[in-house]
Amino acid sequence: MIQTYLRQLVAYAKAYCMLPKADEYYTFNRLLLLLNLDDCGPEEPIPSVEGMTGPDAILAPIVEYALAEKIIAEGQEEAFSARLMDTVSLRPSQVAAAFEEKKAELGLKGATDWFHDYCEKTDYVKRSAIEKNLRWDAKGEKADLVITVNLSKPEVDNKKSAAMLHKKPAGYPSCVICRQNEGFTGHGTVRDTLRTIDVTLDGTPFFWQFSPYAYYYQHAIIINTEHTPMIVNTTALRRLMDFVDQYPHYFIGSNAALPRIGGSLLVHDHYQGGLEQMPMHRADYRTVLSAPDAKVKVGILEWYNSVVRFESDDRDAILATAASVIEAWKDYSNPALGILAETNGEKHNSCSPVVRRTETGYIIDLILRNNRTDETYPDGIFHAHPEYHNIKKESIGLIEAMGLYILPARLNRQLFRETAAFLCGAPYDGEALAEDMKIHRDTIELLLARHGNALTPEQAENAIRARINEVCEAILKNTAVFAEAEEESFRAFILGCL
């Protein structure tokens, strides 16, 4: 009987979602209402919830019942699941209060661990979907990159992201990360179980939450309470430093605040942070530019794109030094290298600052970016070049600039199934490729030339991964505003700011 699954969901919520025993009958009756039921059904043994990491196994039969009884229509499964979980979860104010209690009991890291686990248990952080993503480490000439094929989210079009910057806020909420999304279901979004924590950064109210389809462990999004466009300046840097002062176990960074180099959502000021150590974090200096006795150590990172690193235990000194580079970069031009700060009234230079705390002080990495286009590179001069667009055409944002790639789900079929079949002996005819496979023709023919068509499935997968690794490395090099051969210009720019 369906009522047994509802009882199991209540038991799950008591075990993992802090549902008070005093609310047990009330919550069960709310669930009956959602299923258009008016009795409790026969008493049946409730399956154990011990050891469950998420509610999927309980939700699935309830959603199937709702579909069969036409309580919901096809396509409404995710929204209905979220409504069920919201019914058994704590309210936002209760979660915020519990977070403060956990801080006192477990310490700050224990509290954030608890909050992340709670968001997984209530199915806001989609653990089961995240675990389906493909992920591997890629050996590179400078560092080991991390490559993921995200099977949860669609590709983001650069041109649509740019157009969004010029649209006036419309409707309610104004965008998908506004505070008003807490508990909102509409416009294709499902936020019933979204829970957030308040934080003040440089005197400005922010709040933070976990990403439902996380790109890395404890992927946090730190969001301005006001719907205001992203900006990277000295104020933003102070806010990032305030965050790591309050949450020293997390890194935090900002996308560059321009289309093509700034991620997919630029209309609302926000940052990204988390617990995972990114490949760029492990990089060392290529060149140290500061004097040995300087308050702030400054140097160029041994990395694929153009990164300046600052280290100091003096907050004011490192803030002032890094801010001077941010401000100088906005107006820097070097036509010989294709770097123009502005054309036809459009600004092109921005950067992605990334801030961490260590036992010895602060580390700030500034990833210098430029979003200019031309006839040869209409999607961006310092962007993935056209020969790599079959793998990655979307913006190379903060996370990828640090060496963690989020590749589109289409590659799972196009490369790991259809291209792999050619490498394992399926007949190949480049002229007869399906329309959405034509973008991969050069890649397929390259792989066939390298490896032939008699590979085992495992060998084919390894060959495809190796090619993706090469492309991801090349894309990071494409985004470098100063190529390695242009080291002197890079050094001169930084030294001019010190």
Rounded CA-CA distance 272/221 in Å is 5
Residues 166-185, mean pLDDT to the nearest whole number: 81
The pLDDT of residue 170? 55
% of the chain exceeding 90 in pLDDT: 89
% of the chain exceeding 70 in pLDDT: 96
> What is the DSSP code string of 93-159?
HHHHHHHHHHHHHHHHHHHHHHHHHHHHHTTSS-HHHHTTSEEEEE--SSS-EEEEE-SSS----HH
Alpha helix ranges (H) inside 21-76: 24-34, 56-68
Q: Is the bond into 173 cis (omega within 30 degrees of 0)?
A: yes
The pLDDT of residue 154? 45
pLDDT at position 476 over 70: yes
The pLDDT of residue 65? 97
The pLDDT of residue 152? 76
Rounded CA-CA distance 208/221 in Å is 6
CA within 13 Å, CB half, 62: 28
Both ends of the chain: CA-CA distance in Å?
A: 72
Q: Is the bond into 45 cis (omega within 30 degrees of 0)?
A: no
Rounded CA-CA distance 308/324 in Å is 12
Tokens at residue 168, please? 């006036």
Quickly state the pLDDT bin for 157 (edges 50, 70, 90): very low
3-state secondary structure of 383: coil
- DSSP structure class, residue 435: G
Question: Strand (E) positions, 225-276?
Answer: 251-253, 270-274
- Residue 191 in contact with residue 185, Cβ under 8 Å? yes
Quickly state the pLDDT bin for 383 (edges 50, 70, 90): very high
Reference 100, options 116, 112, 89; nearest CA is 112
- Residue 276 in contact with residue 356, Cβ under 8 Å? no
Please tell me which residue, 178 or 166, carries the higher pLDDT value: 178
Quickly state the pLDDT bin for 163 (edges 50, 70, 90): very low
Angle at 321 between CA 316 and CA 326, to 5 degrees: 120
pTM to 2 decimals? 0.93
- Residue 69 in contact with residue 36, Cβ under 8 Å? yes
Rounded CA-CA distance 115/181 in Å is 18
The pLDDT of residue 305? 96
Quickly state the pLDDT bin for 169 (edges 50, 70, 90): very low
Tokens at residue 381, please? 């001069």
Residues 284-288, mean pLDDT to the nearest whole number: 96
pLDDT at position 161 over 60: no
Rounded CA-CA distance 363/388 in Å is 32
3-state secondary structure of 354: strand
pLDDT at position 160 over 60: no
Tell me the per-residue pLDDT of 61-75, one tens digit each, with 9 for 90 and over.
Answer: 999 999 999 999 999
Residues 183-212, mean pLDDT to the nearest whole number: 95
Tokens at residue 220, please? 């946090």
- Residue 155 in contact with residue 408, Cβ under 8 Å? yes
The pLDDT of residue 250? 98
In terms of C-beta density within 10 A (0-12 exposed, 13-18 middle, 19 or more buried), how is residue 154 classed?
Answer: exposed
Residues 282-311, mean pLDDT to the nearest whole number: 96
The pLDDT of residue 262? 82
The pLDDT of residue 153? 60
pLDDT at position 159 over 50: no
Residues 389-414, mean pLDDT to the nearest whole number: 95
Residues 316-328, mean pLDDT to the nearest whole number: 97
- DSSP structure class, residue 415: I
The pLDDT of residue 438? 97
Tell me the per-residue pLDDT of 25-46, one tens digit each, with 9 for 90 and over.
Answer: 999 999 999 999 998 888 889 9
The pLDDT of residue 171? 81
The pLDDT of residue 350? 97
> What is the DSSP code string of 165-191?
TTSPP-SSSSSTTSGGGTT-EETTEE-
The pLDDT of residue 123? 96
The pLDDT of residue 260? 86
With a CB cutoff of 8 Å and minimum separation 6, the contacts of 130 are 152, 213, 214
With a CB cutoff of 8 Å and minimum separation 6, the contacts of 383 are 260, 261, 371, 377, 395, 396, 478, 479
Rounded CA-CA distance 125/99 in Å is 17
Tell me the per-residue pLDDT of 202-242, one tens digit each, with 9 for 90 and over.
Answer: 999 999 999 999 999 999 999 999 999 999 999 999 999 99
Q: Which amino acid, residue 174?
A: S
pLDDT at position 186 over 90: no
